[in-house]
Amino acid sequence: MKDNGEIFLQESKYPISTPFVPDVPSPRIGDIYGGGIVISTNPKIIVSTENIVKIPWGCDGSYLGATGITVGTGKLNTSIICSLCPTEVIAARVCVNYSGGGYTDWYLPSVGEMGLIYNMRNTIGGFINYWPYLTSTENTANYVACYVFPNVGGGATDKYNFYHFRPIRNY
């Protein structure tokens, strides 16, 4: 400190050190993490290990415009469905209210995101065979995209029957 009360710093040839922070490995595809199983690291997506069973997609006969098909569009589709479909117990709203693993930011996957889940079905496990798993992707006023496990793949199903789904979230 100078005599007049000013503080000055003397240049040093030694850099100021920062505290040591150990490297924490990023989760990898297939890891249990964040309330589910990692299915993508770019974008960062986790699928719940829990099957939600026998819930309708909802709003049969009404076209809502939840048409996102690619990876990364499920959250917007879910938001559209929840804002335009007044029915209380529907797949999208159940996902939004889901709190698996203590997390509350789940949504219904788009058909593209469900494709990631389908491709990892053996790693994820626990799917109920030969039942449609709903996506947030709407095809028409009466039909939505779905996947059937274990070996059928993608297709379409009606909005009014009771089917299964797996919520997903970003980490």
For residues 133 and 166, the answer to whether their CB atoms sit within 8 Å is: yes
- Give mean pLDDT, residues 55-73: 98
Q: What is the pTM of this model?
A: 0.86
Q: How confident is the model at residue 11 (pLDDT cuts 50, 70, 90)?
A: low
Query: What was the pLDDT predicted at 49?
Result: 96
The verdict on residue 3 lying in a domain is no
Closest listed residue to residue 68, CA positions, set 60, 78, 59 = 78
pLDDT in tens, 122-132: 999 999 999 99
The verdict on residue 4 lying in a domain is no
State yes or no: pLDDT of 1 exceeds 80: no
The verdict on residue 94 lying in a domain is yes
Give the pair of three-digit tokens for residue 67.
């048409």
Q: How confident is the model at residue 42 (pLDDT cuts 50, 70, 90)?
A: very high
The verdict on residue 13 lying in a domain is no
The verdict on residue 47 lying in a domain is yes
Domain that holds residue 152: 32-170
The verdict on residue 72 lying in a domain is yes
State yes or no: pLDDT of 18 exceeds 70: no
* Phi/psi-derived region of residue 139, left when phi > 0, alpha when psi is between -120 and 50, beta in every other case: alpha
The verdict on residue 38 lying in a domain is yes
Please tell me the total count of domains within the chain. Answer: 1
The verdict on residue 15 lying in a domain is no
